[in-house]
Structure 1
Amino acid sequence: MPASIFNGAISFGLVSVPITVLSATEDHSVRFRRIHTADNGLVRNRYWCEEEDREVAFGEMGLGYELPDGRVIPVTDEELRALPLPTARAIELIAFIPAAAVDPLRIGPGYYLQPQGAVAAKPYLVLRHALERASRVAVARYAWHGRERLGLLRVRGDVIALHGLLWPDEIRDPATVARPPVQLDKDEIDEAMTLIEAMTRDDLTGPEFTDRYTEALHAVIEAKQEDRQPPQAPEPTAQPGQLVDLMTALQESVGKARAARGETDVPEEPAKPAKKTPPRRKASSRYASALTCRGRACGRVRTRHSDGGRAGWKAWAVTWTLPEPMLATSVPDPALLPGWAAEPKWDGWRALVSVEAGRVVLRSRRGANLVASFPEIKSGSTQLPDATALDGELIVWASGRLAFERLQGRLQRHGAGAAHLAAEWPAHFVAFDLLRLAGTNTTTWPYRQRRAALQDLFTKHKLTTPWALCPSTTEADTVNEWLSWTAVGLEGIVFKRLDGRYEPSVRGWRKYKVRETQEAIAGAVTGPLTAPRTLLLGRYDTSGQLQYTGRTTTLPHAAGHALAGLLAPATSEHPWTGWTFSAGWGTSETLDVTLIEPDLVVEVGVDVARDAAGRWRHPARWHRPRPDLSTDDVPLFGG
């Protein structure tokens, strides 16, 4: 238990709650000492009096304020203790405000407030529950270290935490920061938005948020203490930069994963798409494709009309632009219905590409321009015929799996930086639909015709990396085969009507995401232990360390209350002690988390999207507690 820093009381109206202030944080920094390099002797500071020109002992020193003219005004400890401050021994609550109203720049280090004895426990808990129910934080005034301060009281777990607050005049005006005049392009902002979405996390847990520098320092010190060679940086085990045949690599990895599970069957080749039929133009232009300019003038006139509940555009286009992507709605059943085709669902970034007169457009689903971030796609566009456009998914294949995390750093890289990443972790464009072919708009064609033309495009032009043709099938056995490819990162199945047109922004496709029932260990909760809101889950690794693996969605009300009797606060050193969890992207507010004894096994539903370490990328859905299982029954982390 941390040592007491300060004893006082919370003053709340006519109520006074005796409390002890404890530090809420720990500093694990490696502390170095100054040494004499010739003999490793410690070098110490000495205090020297300028008036008497001699060294003085600590007991001879006091405090003084230096005036501009050089004179010094002494101030004694007794005078400081006697300052006429009503808050000298009390934390006086003066206001209650929403947490979002506090500028994060003003928030200082955190402390825990502990009630002093049984008498103080009840008013302490009353204040804690009132703050939680009101969704407010308290602003306080108190004196500490020789000055009066503002403080912020908030609920964290089952206790009240105190943060120091800077006074308003202690925050510099941001207008003093020099900003060179620049012009922003909307596409650049859209790129940043896409990057934010790709890098959004639920919390601040995981190996990328650990202090690797301090760990490396400890390793060097321990090695030198034992007269060993300090550890060197490991050589990379992967062989980046190698362009591969995507489908061949995919099937090889699936085979290896099956062999590791003891299965002997080999995945069959995906069924070939429907036989190509010659492209036909409709006599009527009633369903012209929905060409959009995204706010840019494209020299055309358009009128909106409807037919049979479908909206379309009748357009006379001078220039062709990429349409908005067609979308899919989720379905709970992976059954392949008559009149439908199926395709694998990839764990990557949705993108549309267009090539015309040497100009390449690579656009994300949200409209961001990705060309500068993926130079390998631009250079590979020379394989495509002019005036052609594809819909597909950008993916990176690494170490025998789809590596979504290798895409995350792409949008902020251009020029040499993007070229370096393209060489190290090259991206593929998995094409699953044809939007335009040699100047002919194909979005009005039925899927079976677009699919046949897409396959013919790959065959006729002998397209190779970075282009990959997405498989398509009308065979239920092949769909079941693909559903077993989750080990290499496929997320599920997308279903498309064989006679369906490509309808921009319309959810006319269907998608099924593979979900698995998994066991994990509850390591922490948000909300009170009596009715937790979410669980933070973990699994032990091969070294016996409990690693964070994911977080649940909000628990049903009944499930939260039922769990209360199965959870207990951590009574010993918890493996997650000192970890912090962010309440969301772009905010400095931390998630209120209560560590619990990691002995309850729970069952959750998760999809197959994982990061490189094996953590679930999406929240887990609550199923049920499993008190009948021990933590030894839970699979190892990353397994």
Structure 2
Amino acid sequence: MKFPAPVALAQAVPQLPTGQGWWFEPKFDGHRMVLWRQDDGIRLQSRSGRDVTDAWMDLARAARDLPAVTVLDGEAIVYVSGAVDFGAAQARAASNPLRAVKLAAQWPASFAAWDILVHPELGDVRSRPYETRRALLLGVLQELGPPLQAVPATDDRATALLWYEALRPQGVEGLVAKHASSPYRAGRIWKKLRHADTVDAEVVGYTGRPSRPRALAVRLPDGRTALSQPVSAQIAAQAAAQLTGSPPVRRAQTDTGAVYEAVEPGLLVEVLAGTTRHSVVTVTRLR
């Protein structure tokens, strides 16, 4: 398997699926990460495929304890005062190496692993069913401890709904449902139920400069393209880190005719669900 690996995603749903064969995992509020333990070192991959090792060196050091040639999928999270803090994880992801070292000393990161893509003995296991991969993941991590841990999982829907309510104060933002027989592949193959009244949208462009975007053009779940309200300085800086490396492809227009600089899709943001009925949406954060 070549770096970077295309990642599986989850589609937002209003309720958990019912029926046989479903497994449920808590959805931690952090930064998506694929952890590569290779023969010649460690590489950490973001959701978009960027190498983010320098920002998460504490996790890279912990990953040395994994067997060589292991690739795990999961979430980089940061606990502050006993709860998962997305803002702290976001600050780490946007840091330069020197700043990341200081943040790691204050709030060390953890890696919540939920899947295994490459097994040290079996090789690429993405085509195997979720239940099989889950067992392999637990086997690889059984001799390790924090900060590398497997997320909890249950095939009991009632237990999952209890988690959904009980774990919210700890920073768990919802649940992800995965079918026992499903292989791992790119695309929205899982289901997610979230507390937040937001939806995911794909960034397809921006207004302003790539180093300081004023607004983001997003493709909404229903296929419409809309321009966001002016984004905050923090969101603009985080978006700029990725947009600067993605020069505009062309000029384009939203469904209402607003002009923006188009870029290749790949960056995902959350927008307030209540604003998606309108031509201008509100971006709450990057995913």
TM-score category, normalised to shorter length: 0.5 to 0.7
After the TM superposition, list the runs of 4 or more consecutive aligned residues in structure 1 that deviate by more than 4 angstroms. none
CA offset at residue 501 of structure 1? Answer: 0.4
Rounded to whole Å, the distance in 2 between the matches of 1:400 and 1:431 is 19
User: Which residue is 1:450 aligned to?
Assistant: 133
**Structure with more relative contact order (C-alpha pairs < 8 Å, separation 6 or more):** 2
**Aligned amino acid, residue 446 of structure 1:** P
Match of 2:110 in 1: 428
Indicate the SS of the match to 1:423: helix
Check if 1:381 corresponds to 2:63. Answer: yes
Structure-2 residue corresponding to 1:398? 80
Contact 1:430 1:470 in 2 (8 A): yes
Higher Cα Rg: structure 1 or 2? 1
Structure 2 letter corresponding to 1:445: R
Tell me the equivalent position of 1:584: 231
1:481 paired residue number: 162
SS in 1 for 2:272: coil
What is the alpha-carbon distance in structure 2 between the residues aligned to residue 327 and residue 376 of structure 1?
26
Q: Any idea what the Cα deviations from partners look like across 1:586-625, whole Å, max 9, x if unmatched?
A: 69xxxxxxxxxxxxxxxxxxxxxxxxxxxxx963638xxx
TM-score, normalising length from structure 1?
0.31
Find the counterpart in structure 2 of residue 333 from structure 1. Answer: 15
Is 1:513 paired with 2:206?
no
Distance apart, 1:415 and its partner CA: 3.8
Matched, 1:464 2:145: yes
* 1:504-523, Cα deviation, whole Å (9 max, x unpaired): 2x21111111258xxxxxxx
**Residue in structure 1 matched with residue 206 of structure 2 by the alignment:** none
1:109-258 aligned at under 5 Å gives the runs: none
Q: Which ranges in structure 1 are unaligned for 5 or more consecutive residues? A: 1-290, 292-319, 517-581, 588-616, 623-639
> What is the Cα deviation at residue 463 of structure 1?
1.2
Partner Cα separation in structure 1 for residue 43 and residue 18 of structure 2: 34
Q: Conserved in 2, the CA contact under 8 Å of 1:433 and 1:450?
A: yes
TM-score by length of 2: 0.67
Q: Distance in 2 between matches of 1:487 and 1:342?
A: 19
* Larger fraction in strand: 2
Instruction: Determine if the alignment matches structure 1 residue 367 to structure 2 residue 46.
Output: no
Secondary structure, counterpart of 1:343 in structure 2 = strand
> What's the offset of the Cα at 1:478?
1.3
- CA deviations 1:239-269 (Å, max 9, x no partner) are xxxxxxxxxxxxxxxxxxxxxxxxxxxxxxx
Name 2:27's counterpart in structure 1. Answer: 345
Give 1:380 shift: 0.4
Q: Distance in 2 between matches of 1:411 and 1:405?
A: 10
SS in 1 for 2:91: coil
The answer as to whether partners of 2:77 and 2:109 remain within 8 angstroms in 1 is: yes
Question: How many angstroms does 1:322 deviate by?
Answer: 4.1
Maintained 8 Å contact 1:341/1:473: yes
Match of 2:38 among 331, 345, 356: 356
* 1:412 Cα offset (Å): 4.2
Q: Is the 8 A contact 2:30 2:90 kept in 1?
A: no
Runs of 5+ consecutive residues of structure 2 not aligned to the other structure: 198-228, 235-269, 276-287
Corresponding residue number in structure 2 for 1:621: 274
SS in 2 for 1:380: helix
Q: CA deviation at 1:327?
A: 1.1
| Amino acid corresponding to residue 151 of structure 2 in structure 1 | C
- In the TM superposition, residue 490 of structure 1 has moved relative to its aligned partner by 1.0
> Could you report, residue by residue, the CA deviation over 1:169-208 in whole angstroms, capped at 9, with x for unpaired residues?
xxxxxxxxxxxxxxxxxxxxxxxxxxxxxxxxxxxxxxxx
Q: Secondary structure at the match of 1:410?
A: helix
CA distance in 2, matches of 1:510, 1:453: 22
Q: Which among 91, 99, 109 is matched to residue 417 of structure 1?
A: 99
Q: SS state of the match for residue 101, structure 2?
A: helix
> CA RMSD of the aligned region, Å?
2.2
| Conserved? CA contact 2:26–2:163, under 8 Å | yes
Distance of aligned partners of 1:584 and 1:321 in 2 relative to their CA distance in 1, 3 Å threshold? closer
Distance in 1 (CA, whole Å) between partners of 2:157 and 2:24 is 9
Q: Which amino acid is 1:455 matched to?
A: L
- Matches of 1:414 and 1:375, distance apart in 2: 11
CA distance in 1, matches of 2:168, 2:97: 34
Give the partner amino acid of 1:345. K
Question: Quick one: which amino acid aligns to residue 10 of structure 2?
Answer: A
Look up the equivalent residue of 2:45 and give its one-letter code: R
CA distance in 1, matches of 2:49, 2:183: 22
Code of the aligned partner of 1:409: A
* Deviation per residue, 1:112-171 (Å, 9 max, x gap): xxxxxxxxxxxxxxxxxxxxxxxxxxxxxxxxxxxxxxxxxxxxxxxxxxxxxxxxxxxx
CA gap of 1:415–1:327, structure 2 versus 1, over 3 A, is closer
Amino acid at match of 2:137: L
User: Does the CA contact (< 8 Å) of 1:336 and 1:342 recur in 2?
Assistant: no
Residue 501 of structure 1 aligns to a residue whose secondary structure is: coil
The answer to whether the 8 A contact 1:322-1:354 is kept is: no
Letter in 2 for 1:403: D
Separation in 1, partners of 2:93, 2:81: 22
Deviation at 1:341, TM superposition (A): 0.7
CA shift in 2, pair 1:514/1:356, >3 Å: same
CA contact (8 A) 2:13 2:191 kept: yes
Task: Verify the 8 A CA contact 1:336 1:474 in the aligned structure 2.
Answer: no
Deviations 1:39-66 (A, max 9, x none): xxxxxxxxxxxxxxxxxxxxxxxxxxxx
**C-alpha separation between the residues in 1 aligned to 2:230 and 2:3?**
40
**Contact 2:138 2:150 (C-alpha < 8 Å) held by counterparts:** yes
The match for 1:41 is none
Q: How far 1:414 sits from its partner (Å)?
A: 3.7
The share of aligned pairs that are identical, in percent, is 30
Aligned residues: 207
Query: How far apart in 2 are the matches of 1:438 and 1:373?
Result: 25
Instruction: Give the superposition deviation at 1:337.
Output: 2.8
Q: Deviations over 1:389-415 (max 9, x none)?
A: 000001101112111111222234344
Classify 1:415/1:350 alpha carbon distance in 2 versus 1 (closer, same or farther; 3 Å).
closer
